[in-house]
């Protein structure tokens, strides 16, 4: 499911217009991104938690010259931890 399909599903589910649903999806993405950029976390009970994690720097291998080592800098990456409600729903789908 892509962003447009999600907006359509939300519009149908809550009885909003397609344009309003697209704005809701965009607002959700913007809010989560803003919170993670500022070191926050977004928890949705029963669904999961979005957070930002700093991956440590490390020494890697240059793929173009395998004998050459390169330093990979630390980077902040998004993380999602599924909540109990989501996990249970997926376990019981079979």
pLDDT tens digits along 19-65: 999 999 999 999 999 999 999 999 999 999 999 999 999 999 999 99
CB 53 within 8 A of CB 77: yes
d(CA 90, CA 1): 17
82, β-bridge pairs = 48
pLDDT surpasses 90 at 94: no
**What token pair was written down for 65?**
């010259």
Q: What is the mean pLDDT of the chain?
A: 94
d(CA 75, CA 54): 6
């Amino acid at each position: 499911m892509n962003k447009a399909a999600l907006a359509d599903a939300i519009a149908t589910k809550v009885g909003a217009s397609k344009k309003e649903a697209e704005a809701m999806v965009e607002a959700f993405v913007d809010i989560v991104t803003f919170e993670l950029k500022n070191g926050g976390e977004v928890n949705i009970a029963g669904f999961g938690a979005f957070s930002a994690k700093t991956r440590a720097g490390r020494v890697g291998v240059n793929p173009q010259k395998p004998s050459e080592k390169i330093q990979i800098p630390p980077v902040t990456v998004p993380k999602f931890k599924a909540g109990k409600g989501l996990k249970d729903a997926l376990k019981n789908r079979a």
